[in-house]
Every structure is written in structure tokens, then in C-alpha cells.
Structure 1
Amino acid sequence: MGMILETHNLTKRFKKHEAVTDVNLRVPQGCVYGLLGPNGAGKTTLLKMLVGLLHPTSGDITLFGEPWKRASLAHVGALIETPSLYGHLTGRENLEIHRRLLGLSHQRVDEVLRIVGLHDVDRKKKTAAYSLGMKQRLGIAIALLNRPRLLILDEPTNGLDPIGIREMRNLILSLVDEEITVILSSHILSEVAQIVTEVGILSNGRLRYQGSLEALLKEGDTQDNLEDIFLRYVSGGGAK
């Protein structure tokens, strides 16, 4: 299976603080890749470099088999941190702004609303009145407008209740069925273990583990100790 994204010794330094150090990601095409790590591990900084919001201090990114260039972002959708929404506008109106910028047809707005399960929401409802889960879904809808080959989601389940987390998991799995590769970050392994196939564990800006979830799970005895495995890598202990 080919790699849709790779990084080579990717590093980001803010003055004297090194937030990301020599990270070598390998994201296979067609997978759900879980970028895992505690808060402050460098996950968001890393994702921002992938989409051009931050410039690496050193290192390189290969995207779709070629050196990273801004034009390649036409095939990338991203929801980094919280969705940027106009609260005084409806969901459709928010999407319409992005649709016009991308030069897409009106039909695409309806398509992405159906994909994320917001098609039946009251058309007059302003996004300021949306629940957190609805805002996350709308943010994903915006990221899907350009029919991306790669979708990057930063903590998409953060702050959601158990029902919202389950719905978000089902949504992400449905996107992979549409042949979209997904990178999602999280600080809780057990929360995403049901949907990711590949895992990278980041701690203090360094990639401590990378490989299949299956291989990672073999290091433990039961599903109950998922967090023990995760914490062992975060603390720098690594495999048994």
C-alpha cells in the first residue's frame, strides 16, 4: 500500500522551545491514522505544518508522492482545533461562503450536509445555536467540500458526550468507505481504537511509536489495558 503522506525529520521550534522534533510520519493510503498523545505533545503543531498553517523549522513533507506544495492542499480537507464558523449565519450559509470560494456547484452543499447528517436541520437555525457536536459536523462538512483525498481532523471528539463520540466515530468510518484517508488526533487511545488502523504516539514532540493498531494491541493482554500501553509509550518506556 502506498503512502499518501510522509514526513522526514520534521521539526518545529518556537524560539528556545522545540514543539516537534524529527518526526517521521508514514500514513498509508486508505487508512484511518490515529495521531495520539497527551495535551501539549505537539499534535496540533504537527498537523498545522501538514496543512501549511505553520512553516517547519527543518525537515520535509511528502504529500501524494510529491514534495509538499501549496497547490496540493486542493486535495486536502482539514478541521484544526475548533471550526471557524459565522455564528450569525446558518449552516448552509456558512457552507455557501466556502463553496463560492472554491467555485463549486450548489449541489455540493446538499451533498456534504447529507454526509455529515445535518441535511434535516432547520434552515433558519443560526450556527451560534448549534450544539458542539453539530458544530463539529459542520466543520467536517466544510472540510469535505473540495472532495479531499486526505482529511485531517484535530481532536474531533473533544468535548462530545458518549452519544456524540459514537456518532462521530460512525461518521469517520463512513468517510473511509468513500476512499478518503483520514488522520485524526486524540489524547485517548481507547476512544479511537474502534476506528483507527494505524497509530502514531507523540510525546514531548517526538514520535514514540508508529505502526498498526493490531501490533500495538499485541503488547497487552486485553482491551482493558489500552491506556496502559498508551501511557507506557508516552512516558518513554516503549514496548515491553
Structure 2
Amino acid sequence: MSFFTSEKFSIPIKYDDTSIFNEDHLLMDGETYPYDELCTIIYSGNSKYINGVQLNKKIGLTLLFIKKGELPYPFNIDNVTGFAKFDFERGLIPTNVRSGKVLEFVYEYIRKRTFAQRLKLFKDTLKKYDKFSFHEGLPEFHNNGDLYDRGKFEGNFREMNEKGKIINGERYGGYSNKVNDPFIYGFERGTKFFGMIADNVTFSNTVNRDVLFTLLNNLYSTGKMLD
């Protein structure tokens, strides 16, 4: 997902005075973070409009590293051996636009480079527990498509997909004050309060979104996240 016009960059690339993204590792504050220990990519962004004029764009990138091997379940902050967070915001008057473009570039580079290993970690968790969560406290996905949030059953993704009830991206607010958030994901469950309010189940699909989409697409085509 692109928030900026693509430009040609190459690895290694410097993000700021303390962070350099290399071919197989991030060097930040003098510490080395190997990509083969990366388990989680959190990537988010949105844009805000006032009276049809785009005021700002935001991008956030967070990387979580663990020791090589099996991913603990449930996964929590105690399992993290390395943490890197980058934020960029572009206002109405563009300043330092290159930083946003670099952040987008390194996200795509690292995402593609580490996709197979991150997918395997959560496939292994599914195989062992028949469910997974990207982090303790986040929604829990079951192999059959059931979604639980803090222990409460919220619905089944496969059934909602068959009914055409999937929500993928959201715009809210009117013309005078509109926010576009393409990371919202979930499903329409129905209505409440005598049909006056939509009863939607949504979450911010920013954590390992490529992994989740791969598993969900398999669910939608075969009936299981993991065959």
C-alpha cells in the first residue's frame, strides 16, 4: 500500500542519523537487528481531509525481533529481544517528504524479505494450537475462521465472507472532515438498538497484515487457514 509516489532507492539506505537499513539487518543506535530474527511488522497510515483538501498523511513502522526458533504462545512483550519504531507525518505544507518515501521503501523491502519466515512462525503456531494471535491482548484467530476478542466469540470470517459481509478499509467523517483509514478490517455482524446502529466487528489490520491476508485467503478458498 503506497502513500507516496515511488522513487528509486537502494539498500543500504539511511533513514536518519541513528538508523541504517542494510541488506540483512537494521543498524540502529549502534545495535544490530538481523532480519532473520524479525517476527512482527506493524505498518499503519491514514490521511485526513478538510473540505476536500488533504491536510496530512501519517505512516508508522514498528519492527519486533525475537530469538530464532519457535514463536512463544501467547506472544507478549517479554518475548521481544529487539524493538524499532519509526513515525512520519506530512502536513499541508510538505517538509522532509523523502523520509516518508524511505520509510515506505524499507517497509516493502523488509516485508518481502521476511514474509516466508514470519508466515512460518504463525503457521507453526496454528499447527500446534489450532489458533494464533499476533500479540497477547490482540484478536485471536482460529483455524476454522472463528474470531475471539478477549475470550469472547465475535463471529466467523469464512461465514461472513460467504455472505459478502467483509469490511476492508474504511472512510469516516463527511466531506468537511474526512479520514481515510485503509487498515480497518473485519465484518458486518448486523445491527443493534432496533436496527439504528451497525454492529460491526473491526480491528486495525496493521500487524503482519501480509501474513493475515495469506491465511485468510486460504480460509476463504479451502475452509481452513491452515490445510
Higher relative contact order by CA 8 Å / sep ≥ 6: 1 or 2? 1
Q: Which has a greater percent of helix?
A: 1
Higher relative strand content: 2
Of structures 1 and 2, the larger Rg is shown by 2
TM-score clears 0.5:
no
Q: TM-score, normalised by structure 2?
A: 0.27
TM-score after normalising by structure 1: 0.26
